[in-house]
Amino acid sequence: MRTWTILTAAIVTLVVSAAPGSFALWQETAAVADLTITTGRLNAAIASGTTTPTTQTTANLGSVTGILPTENRGLTFTVRNTGTVDLTVAAALSAATAADSDLAFGVNPGACTTPTPVGTALSTTPAAVGSAVAPATNATFCLRVTLTTTAPNSLQSSAVGPFVIALTAASTA
């Protein structure tokens, strides 16, 4: 009797494992229409000022001088799309730069002008800036630095900086 039980269990296991299909409770199949998958290379470089960047991924944005409360100064930087797909730029403050509560920061597309436009306020969370940058082209931006009304007298009319911002590039495709 024991031999028959083992033999029956073996046969049932063999039949079940050899059967085609799925033992899932639900299954579904569907045809997929033709589609196109596009690939590309995402790459960017950065430089201080309006200089065409080559391979740098960081730029020393320097310091500002002679700033009084509620005044702002601008520091220009350029991003070059060295990839093969359009990209967008997002900017954020480094933790050390954001920790300085005597200063406020913003960024806007275009070179700095006087007075510097307010632009997009910056924090440690990336914020999108400007429009898409096509491959093999440059985009110029302005980092705006404002001295707050609560800044101590020692900062007024002195040099403050240098400043560190993080730039993130993302594909628009």
Q: pLDDT per residue over 75-89, tens digit each?
A: 888 888 888 989 888
pLDDT, position 133 = 92
What is the distance in angstroms between the CA of the first residue and the CA of the last residue of the chain? 68
Confidence category of residue 22, pLDDT binned at 50, 70, 90: low
How much is the pTM?
A: 0.70
Residue 108 CA: distances (Å) to CA of 66, 99, 125, 143 = 22, 21, 16, 7
Q: How far apart are CA 163 and CA 54, in angstroms?
A: 21
Rounded Cα distance between 64 and 160, Å, is: 6
DSSP H/E element including 15: helix 2-18
Res. 116 pLDDT band, cuts 50 70 90 = low
What is the spatial distance between Cα 92 and Cα 106, in angstroms, rounded to a whole number?
9
Q: 134 pLDDT band (50/70/90 cuts)?
A: very high
3-class DSSP assignment, residue 156: coil
DSSP secondary structure, 98-118, as one string: HT-TTEEEEEEES---SSPP-
